[in-house]
Amino acid sequence: MRRDPIKSSARTLEVLELFQEQRRPLRLTYIFEKLGYPQSSTTTLLKSMVVLGYLNYDRASRTYFPTPRVAALGDWVNHHLFGAGDIDRLLNTIFEQTNETVVISSQNDIFIQHLRILQPSHPHKIAITEGTMRVLPHSPAGLVLMSQMPPKAVDKLCRHINAYLGGASDRIDIPQLQTQLDWIRREGYSLLAAFPFPNAAAIAMPLPTTPRGVQLTLGVGGLNSRIARKKTEILEMMRAGVAAYERGLQALNTETWSEAEDHH
């Protein structure tokens, strides 16, 4: 059974996401029209966020804007997810080399969630947004993470996913999926066409586990024809980038260990 979010919680987060998208002070009218909320409930919500200290209200301009408290909520998250490794350097290097959409993703329950995205300016890109989630087997990043799991864990996870999907036509064929995961384990990457659109495709491969035990993936996506034509080159770039990222993590871990020994 699909789990719908509680309306008030969803609206609070959607307001903050709107500010992230617009990056400027916004008026009440703009917010409720853009998000399609009733004016009365939007007014109540925004006033509550002001009282709690998450939004600032400027009476002169009649605009709202997030306070530093919003930023403080998540200023520790990147270190937890990405460790001290230079994930931004990896992301930018692959983006510059491929000129395609580049994504860093991680597992979130039965979903894959896209945490960082860089998109090219050309019209052949695939338009996905940060924070987007799909059930794990429906994305190449999700398939890569599932390939790291033992078969019994995959089987149990797929049963939860199928229960979530209900009677949907995209329910997971578990034996077929296990065969697909065997291929990914051998090759070290996944390639999925029609992701997330019929004419799109993406390649994903795992990144080294962070010091906090978070498993991330690196993905490159675009039009199916472009990805198919450049597949060999893209894979070489991704493998080289992942290897460099791993060497950086190892060097940093060695340095941290040495410093800790010096303090004893």
CA atoms within 13 A on the CB side of 48: 11
CA distance 97 to 238: 9
Which ranges of 67-166 does DSSP label H, i.e. alpha helix?
68-74, 77-82, 87-98, 140-147, 151-165
pTM: 0.74
**pLDDT value of position 236:** 97
Half-sphere exposure in the Cβ direction for 138 (13 Å, CA):
18
The neighbour count for residue 95, using CB atoms within 10 Å, is: 18
Q: For the segment 107-165, what is each residue's pLDDT rounded down to a tens digit?
A: 988 999 998 899 999 888 887 888 888 999 999 999 999 999 999 999 999 999 999 88
Q: In the prediction, which pLDDT does 1 show?
A: 44
Reduced to 3 states (helix: H, G, I; strand: E, B; else coil), residue 103 is: strand
User: How does residue 264 score in pLDDT terms, banded at 50, 70 and 90?
Assistant: low
| Tokens 């966020």 -> residue | 49
In the chain the domains, ranked by start, together with CATH numbers, are: 7-72 (1.10.10.10), 77-258 (3.30.450.40)
For 120-130, b/e burial (b = at least 16 CB within 10 A) is: beeeebbebee
- Tokens 């939007």 sit at which residue? 42
> Taking 60 as the threshold, does the pLDDT of residue 262 lie above it?
no
| pLDDT single digits (tens) 179-224 | 999 999 999 999 998 766 788 999 999 998 776 677 899 999 999 9
pLDDT band at 170 (very low <50, low <70, confident <90, very high): confident
Tell me the backbone φ, ψ of residue 149, rounded to 5 degrees: -95, 150
Q: Are 56 and 19 a contacting pair, CB within 8 Å?
A: no
User: 6-49, pLDDT tens digit by residue?
Assistant: 677 888 989 998 998 899 999 999 999 999 989 998 999 999 99
**pLDDT-based confidence at 84, cuts 50/70/90?**
low
Dihedrals phi, psi of 137, to nearest 5 degrees: -70, -5
Assess whether pLDDT exceeds 80 at residue 79: no
